[in-house]
Amino acid sequence: MENGRAISFPRPDGQDVPGVLFTAADDAPGVVLIQEWWGVNDQIRGVGQRLAAAGYRVVIPDLYRGRAATVADEAKHLMNGLDFGQALADIAGALAYLRGHDPSSRVGIIGFCLGGALTLAALCNVPGFAAGVCYYGIPGGGADPSRLLAPLQAHFAEFDDWCTPDAVRALEDQLRSGTTEYELYRYSAHHAFFNDARPEVYDPVAAAESWRRALDFFHRHLGGPQAAA
């Protein structure tokens, strides 16, 4: 199960979405995991494996439909070609898949980079999530962070030319004007500091601290296992 199991599930509009499933106990809380701009590669599957090892059922919707990038120009092309509305429909399908026939089951969402932006967008537009964790992603239009539908935990890097410190401050102003619980953390690190497949930016200290916080957040809001490495 190291690389997960290939699945497909329906979106609300009936279209099928390919994805990857990592299983824990059948009654474990669920987490929708959203890829970076690279696609569903070995690194993001590794995050899925870690979440499953921590006691969660995990679905990664394949937003690029089987495509993945290994160089930045290709990843940028794939990300720029992604329709956020369609991606949110994929995410809604993954949420419904994890909830199954039990509307009371708790499902969270977590994403990195592009996936972080989509996590925040989903928390503003897709009802039903119990909590979400955003890593260094801020959506453009179509998402109002002051109107979160579920609690948010966000992680940003101080040295980031995409989610710049000014952009993060503006985001926090919006979050502060809302009424939904949020936590926002900043790290003395670079964009993508959690990605251990990119040694030029990976920061093991920031990665470990943010992961501990994320698991503790999911434990509190999803009722999952106590935070562990």
pLDDT at 48: 97
Query: Which run of H or E residues covers position 225?
Result: none
The pLDDT value recorded for residue 151 is 98
Of 12-16, 26-30, 156-160, the poorest mean pLDDT is in 26-30
pLDDT class of 27 with cuts at 50, 70, 90: confident
Residue among 142, 130, 138 at smallest CA distance from 154: 138
Q: Is the pLDDT of residue 1 over 50?
A: no
Residue 178 confidence (pLDDT) above 70: yes
Q: Given a cut of 80, is residue 228 above it in pLDDT?
A: no
> Residue 148 is encoded by which pair of tokens?
């979160």
Do 143 and 170 contact (CB within 8 A), yes or no?
A: no
Predicted confidence at residue 225, as pLDDT, reads 74
Q: Domain segments of the chain: what residues?
A: 5-222
Q: Which residues contact 94 (CB under 8 A, 6 or more apart)?
A: 9, 17, 19, 32, 59, 61
Residue with tokens 């955003």: 134
Write the CA distances from 110 to 1, 99, 101, integer angstroms: 20, 16, 22
Question: What whole-number distance in Å separates Cα of residue 210 and Cα of residue 64?
Answer: 27
- What's the whole-model pTM score? 0.95
**pLDDT exceeds 90 at position 141:** no
Q: What is the CATH number of domain 5-222?
A: 3.40.50.1820
